[in-house]
Amino acid sequence: MKVLWAPWRMDYILGEDKTPGCIFCPAPGESLAERLVLFNGNLTRIMMNKYPYINGHLLVSPRRHTPGLDDLTPAEMLDLLGKVRDAMAILKRVMHPDGFNVGLNLGVVAGAGVESHLHFHIVPRWNGDTNFIPVFADVRVIPEHFRQTYERLAPHFQALPDEDQTCVSLK
């Protein structure tokens, strides 16, 4: 019998690792690396999902605490979507996925875990990343610890320019 080892999930399962307040709004002086923040721009923040569907699962949010697309300024909208594109380009370069699921969950009934702060999910996908294990064992296999993934991605995100109204292509 093979054992799947993911000890960091127990905190999530038991509910003992819940960050107080909004996960997208770190407190002043709080370690951004501890929060898995990869990019902290003037208008947009990019962070890793601490409880990912798969390695490289990122969350892209406006810095301003706001619940919906219609609440964003034109500059925030442009920067947010530009950073989604930039994040995907970095994931392509570093992790080589075959595709992506990208989306918003707006409202609790749509699956929003944090309803009060708009955020995109970027989930890299690889051919064969779905198999029998989730179906039969209700287990998801994540082959790399999220801290190792953070260390691999962080230098690429730190190199991103922070231009409030100009989207930067990383091609």
Q: What is the pLDDT of residues 108-117, one digit of tens each?
A: 777 767 778 8
Query: Is residue 164 a part of any domain in this protein?
Result: no
Q: What angle do CA 54, 66, 119 make, to 5 degrees?
A: 15
CATH number where 95 lies: 3.30.428.10
Report if residue 6 sits inside a domain.
no
CB proximity list for 157: less than 8 A, separation 6 or greater: 38, 39, 46, 87, 90
116/101 Cα distance (integer angstroms): 22
Instruction: Report residue 9's pLDDT band, with 50, 70 and 90 as the boundaries.
Output: low
Determine what percent of the chain is predicted with pLDDT higher than 70: 74
Q: For the chain, how many structural domains are there in total?
A: 1
* Domain membership of residue 111 as a residue range: 31-158
Is residue 119, in this structure, part of any structural domain at all?
yes
pLDDT at 46: 97
Residue 127: its pLDDT value, please? 85
Residue at 2 is within a domain: no
Q: Active site residue: 57, 119, 121, 156, which one?
A: 119
107 pLDDT more than 80: no
DSSP string, 88-106: HHHHHHHH--SEEEEEE--
Report if residue 15 sits inside a domain.
no
**Which pLDDT band holds residue 13 (cuts at 50, 70, 90)?**
low
In this predicted model, which residue has the larger pLDDT, 83 or 165? Answer: 83
Tell me the C-alpha to C-alpha distance, in Å, between residue 30 and each of 23, 33, 127, 147, 149.
12, 9, 38, 17, 21
Name residue 52's amino acid: P
pLDDT bin (cut points 50, 70, 90) of residue 99 is very high
Q: Mark whether 119 is an active-site residue.
A: yes
